Structure 1
Amino acid sequence: MDIRDRDSDSDDQEDFQDAEDAPITASVSLNQALEESHKAIDYFFNNQFREAKSLMTPYANISMYHSLGHSVFLYMEAVLTFEREAIKRASVALKSSMSVCNRFRKKTTFGESLGKVVRRSNYELYTQTEAHAELCHAEAMLLKSTLTFIEDETLASFIKAGIKIRSCFNSYKDCHQILLNRNWEKDPTKEHFEGGVRVGIGVFNLMISMLPSRVIRLLEFIGFSGNKQKGLNELTIGCETEGLRQILCIMAVLAYNLVVLPVLSHREGDTKLCRDIIDKRLLKHPKSVWFLFFKGRLEFLQGNMDECKNWYVKSWKSQDVWPQFHHICYWELVWVHSLNMEWKQAVYYSSQLVEHSRWSRTMYSYQKAALLCMMKDTLTSSEKEEIDKLMRDVPKYKQRIAGKSIPMEKFAVKKAERYFSQNRNLLIPVVELMFLWNMFKIFKNFSVGAKILKLIEKAATNLDSGDKSCRYYNDNKALLLLLQGACLRQMGSPLQALNCLETAISMNKSIIEDSYIVPYAIVELALVEWYNGNCQKAILALEDAKKNYTGYSLESRLHFRIHTALTDFKSEMKRS
């Protein structure tokens, strides 16, 4: 799609823009808009959210940068709160922002539109303002498209949002051509434009490259493509490019290395790079809720439990304008205390999420119930009744997107049902959740891993000394073997890990409900084989898990890990 083609953008006109553009009643120069946007970003990362928003709002109807900035604040509020009115306000603001950007975009005559079919666009003809208008329009369209996923949860809207994101991806590619082909000599706004292009191209490439191969093939068919190394290179350059959007490149790099990779792959992120970035940013924004959080996340992934706890608390106490930021830290603190087996403290933060957060009441209810189950021997009768109530509440709040349940919520509902069918009992459910959220990586801190391993072994002893005729005995046995094997792998005991994992896999036909255990165990086994130097065995195991197992809980989550591991392993074998 050529960005000058208004005909090809007709669907966007229908969905995203007002019938008629409002007249420009005043003017704001591009330099002034960039300067004030930069100031708003400084306000934002110093937790001065009201000041940042008030700087953007007055010119939101006449300046593309002010309009985009104003919309971003409403968008964040919508995503953080999930409140219907906040989502509606953000949607209207983004629609208006796209309309404002369109006033400044390069106009294309009918003849030029026809000519584009046979010749390339002349990107050199874009003025300074037209170039920035294209980028701002792409950014607003991306936010509006992603908002559609929570604004309207029907399948039709889901597909429509995907088509809009594809258009947005093409717009970013065209902006990249403007960056490469336009004459930017003596243009001080280039660095601001370049940063936006880098973050857009970088994030698209990075995220697409992480998707399972079957999804990538479908996306390539409709025009998407992704290259991990290209994405990382673009973001790295963007982090070093002084400009308005440098901070977005920095946030993308931190999120990828400290959140996305740790959850969705076997790999570690670049913690040295993250530490350098965070330390520099905390010198500039010492009270920023974001950089305090990322500092906590970094220490958490390094297994420094006391340090990360302090940073998370600093983060949520650093501001109270948006309490939803607190919930992000509460979620992390639940797991910090759980890994330390400090169940009461974990329950406290879990209770805060149940009572105040709207993101996933289903997950929060199950999480709190699971934590209380870990203390079942010491609970009062009223506390045991609370577990029952929470488990009954789990399915009540289940959400659907495009007609589909969220996989982790679906898993929680199944486990809540199991709790009642298993005589109001679950086996170390919090440790199971730790494994599924890929938190066993923390066991590089041996003292943390040893405590959890002891907990698993105790549960196994209790299971074996109990009633082996129980309907779910084999499910529970296989689960404990999987958890034990995964724990031992992280703690550097590969032979013991292999023994546990192979036994769990051998129980495939005797497992009644928890069919996810076997493919997850095969992936764990593949990682052990790889680190033992049995490269071909590792790849064959991953291919086995990928091709021969389907229909189990959290299948997509495992496929992310399989795809990342296969990509890394095959690349490494080629190099060697």
Structure 2
Amino acid sequence: MALAAAAGRPPPDLAAALDECMEAMNSFLCNQFSKSLEKLQPRTKESMYHALVYATILEMQAMMTFEHDDIVQAGQTMKEAQEICQRFRRKSSVTGSLTGLVSKADSFTEVELHAEVCYAECLLQRAALTFLQDENMVNFIKGGIKVRSSYLIYRELSSFIQSSHCTAGPAHVHLEGGVALGIGAFNLTLSLFPPRILKLLEFAGFSGDKEYGLQQLHEGATTLNLRALLCTMLLLCYYTFLTFILGIGEDDFTEAESLLRPYLIRYPKSAIFLFFAGRIEEIKGNISEAICRFEAGCSAQQAWKQFHHMCYWELMWCFAYKGMWKMAYFYADLLSKENRWSKAMYVYMKAAFLSMLPPEEPRPFGESEVQLFRQVSSFKQKIAGKSPPTEKFAIRKARRYKGSRPVPVPVPALEMMYMWNGFTVLGKQRELLEGTLETLMQAEKKLQESPVRSGSATITTWCPTRCWSSACCTWPRAGARRPSRCCAEPGTTTRTIPWSPGRSSGSTRFCPGSRRIRRRTAWKDPAPPKEPCPAAEKSWGGTGLWGMESPVVPPPAPTEGGTLHFQ
């Protein structure tokens, strides 16, 4: 009924609506989240841009809270925004025309073109909510259909604004910004898919050109338009998270800092930009400065606690890099109680940090790491119908504590840090590497003193600690290879293992025995030898790049039948 009543009123002027939405976004960046929504809400039933921005803010909140009710509410609001956009669209949609938008450019008004780009954005955001909310295959397919429809609209609009038929109106810069956001986001996201999947997507009509996607997003971020903030946030996420975690970028943060600098000048207390500023300092190895940024982001506002949770996650890792395990546990405990994104991961990290403390040291709140490890599997969840890989890893490791005789993981916090590519941060500061190496030397000494156990559990216990010890001792400077520590005697041959996401760029050299071994003679490699192992030559009593002494631990000895025992 509200939609029917609003349909009889004339739509507000497009330029005026865009100006009001820009003011609302300005309030949002000043941490005035409620004021921003109050500015938008009165016209959400009559203005497509008011409805879209209002629904976008609610979706951001829902994704951070991960509460079912918030996701449902955001989805319903986005559906209503899509209906508002549909009212302003031309009856025959762009994707339904065989000749495309370019040949019919003269018949589309400026309002109808803006309605198309807003409609495509609504489809894309509704698809994202569908993947988060529903786990069944039917809804997953429906979300995929929405994504394809959105992409086709963006593609037609991109062809139109680049053609000679395009006539720039008063709000043309906002239209270009919307198309740049959509085309850039699609190309950049799809370029991260594995090559085989990307070929299938390109066969289905999608495009995954990373350079073109970055170019489009940069154009959208550097012009004054309504989508500039979203373009900037996508680029910052790419430069500070995706390239770092996947190991596909260089140690150059110029692009991220140049994007962030004007926003920090204009919004020095914005929680969003303080978070990204802290993230840049963190991956540069400036841990103390990063902690100050994250704490400032938490104190900047109290309205949306969800922003605090993002800072808590980074603060947890910052204190882990410094070896302050109780402080890291404190933030993991806060996340496990207040956030719903991945409780299994939070509980696992709590147990991992407690495991790093000396056995005689009292545990905070009287919690036991063994009991926490046993609880991890009960918090398993699915996103887009799949369990997150990090949760699968944590649950698999926590199985070692299920039995009556738990098989402890030597340094679980460092293991998870390595999985998140955190050793790249350690490599930026000598002090961090020295502290981590000392922790690993103590863990190896403890393993030497513990009762010897045979089988695969012995291999999976010793190999990681030696690998990380070598990583600390031989961690190269920027641009060089990162050899992994070998679990073999000097002179053992190696083979090159292809790069995989989560590791440093280039090839990584592993000993043949550092992979899984199933009852065969130790370190016997069927592949022909290629060259001596550089990590092994440095690790047995030598010094690393930083001049630190490498721990000397006796190598494992093979026994009959191929089962490994350590001397």
Bin of the TM-score, shorter chain as denominator length: 0.7 to 0.9
User: What CA deviation, in whole Å up to 9, does each residue of 1:202-247 have, x standing for no partner?
Assistant: 1211111111112212222322221111111112222222222122
Q: Answer whether contact 1:316 1:325 (CA < 8 A) is retained.
A: yes
From the superposition, tell whether residues 405 and 253 of structure 1 become closer, same or farther in structure 2 (CA, over 3 Å): closer
* Residue type of the alignment partner of 1:483: W
Q: Which residue of 1 aligns with 2:394?
A: 412
Give the aligned partner of residue 85 of structure 2.
101
* Identity across matched positions, percent: 33
Normalized per residue, the structure richer in helix is 1
2:25 to 22, 29, 41: 41
Asked if the contact 1:123–1:177 (Cα under 8 Å) also holds between the matched residues in 2, the reply is no
Map 1:113-512; keep pairs closer than 5 Å. Answer: 116=98, 121-181=103-163, 185=167, 187-268=169-250, 270-380=252-362, 385-421=367-403, 423=406, 425-442=408-425, 443-471=427-455, 472-488=457-473, 490-492=475-477, 498=483, 500-501=485-486, 503=488
Q: Distance in 2 between matches of 1:474 and 1:207?
A: 38
2:12: which partner in 1?
Answer: 28
What is the rounded CA distance, in whole Å, between the counterparts of 2:389 and 2:501 in structure 1?
24
Deviation at 1:497, TM superposition (A): 6.1
The question of whether the paired residues in 1 share the 8 Å contact of 2:417 and 2:423 is answered with yes
Task: Show CA shifts across 1:101-154 (max 9, x none).
Answer: 011112229xx9997269964234321101110111111111100000122111
Counterpart for residue 83 of structure 1: 67
Cross-structure match for 2:47: 63
Distance 1:181 1:118, change over 3 A: closer
**Contact map agreement 1:104 1:129 (CA 8 A) in 2:** yes
Equivalent pair of 1:131/1:178 in contact (CA under 8 Å): no
CA distance in 1, matches of 2:410, 2:393: 15
- Tell me the amino acid that sits aligned with residue 248 of structure 1: L
Question: Secondary structure of 1:66's match?
Answer: helix
State the number of aligned residues. 507
- For each residue in 1:167-210, what CA deviation from the matched residue of structure 2 results, as whole angstroms up to 9, or x when unmatched? 21111111212322365556221111111111211121111111
Note if contact 1:498-1:528 (Cα within 8 Å) is conserved in structure 2.
no
Determine if contact 2:102/2:159 at 8 Å carries over to the other structure: no
Show CA shifts across 1:321-351 (max 9, x none): 1101100000000000000001111111111
> What is the CA–CA distance in structure 2 between the aligned matches of 1:71 and 1:391, rounded to whole Å?
39
Q: TM-score, structure 1 length as denominator?
A: 0.80
Q: Which stretch shows the higher mean deviation, 396-405 or 294-303?
A: 396-405
SS at 1:181 equivalent: coil
2 CA distance for matches of 1:306 and 1:473? 37
Contact 2:95 2:152 in 1 (8 A): no
Secondary structure class of the residue paired with 1:331: helix
Cα distance 1:520–1:136, how it changes in 2: closer, same or farther (>3 A)? farther
Alpha-carbon distance in structure 2 between the residues aligned to 1:525 and 1:143? 27
1:528-547 to 2 correspondences below 5 Å: 530=506, 538=507
Match of 2:530 in 1: none
Give the drift of 1:313.
0.4
Over aligned residue pairs, what C-alpha RMSD do you find? 3.4
Do 2:281 and 2:289's aligned partners in 1 also have CA atoms closer than 8 Å?
yes
Please say which of residues 119-128 and 339-348 is displaced more in the overlay: 119-128
Q: Which amino acid aligns with 2:77?
A: A
| 8 Å contact from structure 2 (residues 374, 402) kept in 1 | no
Question: What are the Cα deviations for residues 18-39 of structure 1, in whole angstroms up to 9, with x where unaligned?
Answer: 9999734353111111000110
Aligned-partner residue type, residue 448 of structure 2: D
TM-score normalized with structure 2 length: 0.82
1:54 and 1:526 map into 2 onto residues whose CA distance is 42
Secondary structure (helix, strand or coil) at the match of 2:485 reads helix
Query: 1:479-521: per-residue Cα shift (whole Å, max 9, x none)?
Result: 12332344445444999964724749x99xxxxxxxxxx9997
Give how far 1:286 is off.
1.1
Kept in 2: contact 1:254–1:294 (CA 8 A): yes
| Deviation of 1:420 (Å) | 3.7
Query: Match for 2:216: what amino acid?
Result: E
Q: Read off the aligned partner of 1:451 and give its amino acid letter.
A: G
Give the secondary structure class of the aligned counterpart of 2:451.
Answer: coil
CA gap 1:523/1:61 in 2 versus in 1, 3 angstroms: same
For structure 2, which runs of at least 5 residues remain unmatched after alignment?
Answer: 517-567
The question of whether the paired residues in 1 share the 8 Å contact of 2:247 and 2:503 is answered with: no
Residues 187 and 212, structure 2, Cα contact 8 Å, conserved in 1: yes
Give the aligned residue type for 1:440: F
Q: 1:50 to 1:499 in 2, by over 3 A?
A: closer
Deviates most, 177-186 or 242-251: 177-186
The farther-off stretch of 339-348 and 276-285 is 276-285
Of 382-391 and 296-305, deviating more is: 382-391
Q: 1:27 aligns to what SS in structure 2?
A: coil
Q: Is the 8 A contact 2:221 2:229 kept in 1?
A: yes
Q: For structure 1, which segment, 335-344 or 239-248, has the greater mean C-alpha deviation from structure 2 after superposition?
A: 239-248
Report how far residue 310 of structure 1 moved: 0.1
